[in-house]
Amino acid sequence: MTRQIIVGNWKMNGLSRDSQELVKAITSGLPANSADVVVCPPFTQLGLLTDMLKPTPVKLGAQDCHQEVSGAHTGDISAPMLADLGVSYVVLGHSERRQEHGELDETVREKAMAATKAGLTPIVCIGETEDQRETGEHFDALGWQIKGSLPDGFNGILAYEPIWAIGTGLAATTDQIAETMKFLREELVRQFGEAGKVIKILYGGSVNAGNAATILPIPEVAGALVGGASLKADAFLSIVSAASAA
């Protein structure tokens, strides 16, 4: 079995002092034989944290990148710029980016290609709305997002986050997660052939210290994309420990 990976998405949280203290607490508290760990702070903290993380097993991730290498894109950050800072992973297509910034599958696909070209590992997010799940359209929605958001030859990570569970404190049930993970694996194999068998799939959506030990052992779950709980060292480390034991 491959080691699970726990990715902390800090979202728009973290000033310098708090970010340094959080990283110190996480790196000093990692369990033996830990799962792989990635922290994704805001852009403003990447330069500060890269040197802190170099001597540790924790990898640095970003929360987005632009699809172009450079140019007249005020306020944007390119994948090569992230790589230049020592970033290894980048979260793309999060539902908050899709909803608040109007990102389309095509845009996410282009960003994933740019990230891969720059040597970063893209973590591409997909997820259904509450209406789509209630009307039974969730699998169609997820299948189309995979087709539209993942480029040919994709060798990054897929993160499944039901939109209705993000930040609500309500995670999907184990049966819902198991059923969806089975579908996602079958869909990846259908679209990518043999390569689809090895693409890691993370679960996200209100993962916390209380439910991680139940979610992470579910078949096809290769780790978690963690939001709010990643801002508290104790909670995040509990999730890492659950992954290490899964």
Q: Mean of the pLDDT values across residues 40-47?
A: 98
Q: What is the number of structural domains in the chain?
A: 1
pLDDT above 70 (res 120): yes
pLDDT above 80 (res 230): yes
**Feature table: binding site:** 9-11, 167, 206, 227-228
Active-site residue, from 66, 94, 138, 187: 94
Active-site residue, from 103, 128, 161, 220: 161
Q: Name the pLDDT band for 7 (thresholds 50, 70, 90).
A: very high
Active site residue 161: yes
What confidence tens digit (pLDDT) does each residue in 137-194 have? Answer: 999 999 999 999 999 999 999 999 999 888 777 778 999 999 999 999 999 999 999 9
Active site residue 66: no
CATH of the domain at 112: 3.20.20.70
Q: Mean of the pLDDT values across residues 3-24?
A: 98
Q: How far, rounded to the nearest angstrom, does the alpha carbon of residue 239 sit from its chain's CA centroid?
A: 14
Domain enclosing residue 168, as ranges: 5-245
What confidence tens digit (pLDDT) does each residue in 49-102 have? Answer: 999 999 999 999 999 999 999 999 999 999 999 999 999 999 999 999 999 999
pLDDT above 80 (res 47): yes
Three-state SS sequence of the chain: CCCCEEEEECCCCCCHHHHHHHHHHHHHCCCCCCCEEEEECCHHHHHHHHHHHCCCCCEEEECCCECCCCCCCCCCCEHHHHHHHCCCEEEECCHHHHHHHCCCHHHHHHHHHHHHHCCCEEEEEECCCHHHHHCCCHHHHHHHHHHHHCCCCCCCEEEECCHHHCCCCCCCCHHHHHHHHHHHHHHHHHHHHHHHHCCEEEEECCCCCCCHHHHCCCCCCCEEEECHHHHCHHHHHHHHHHHHHC
- What is the structure's pLDDT at 1? 55
CA dihedral 47, 50, 51, 54 (to 10 degrees): -170
pTM comes to: 0.97
**Feature table: binding site for substrate:** 9-11, 167, 206, 227-228
What confidence tens digit (pLDDT) does each residue in 186-224 have? Answer: 999 999 999 999 999 999 988 999 999 999 999 999 999
Q: Which of 163, 165, 191, 177 is nearest to 223 (CA)?
A: 177
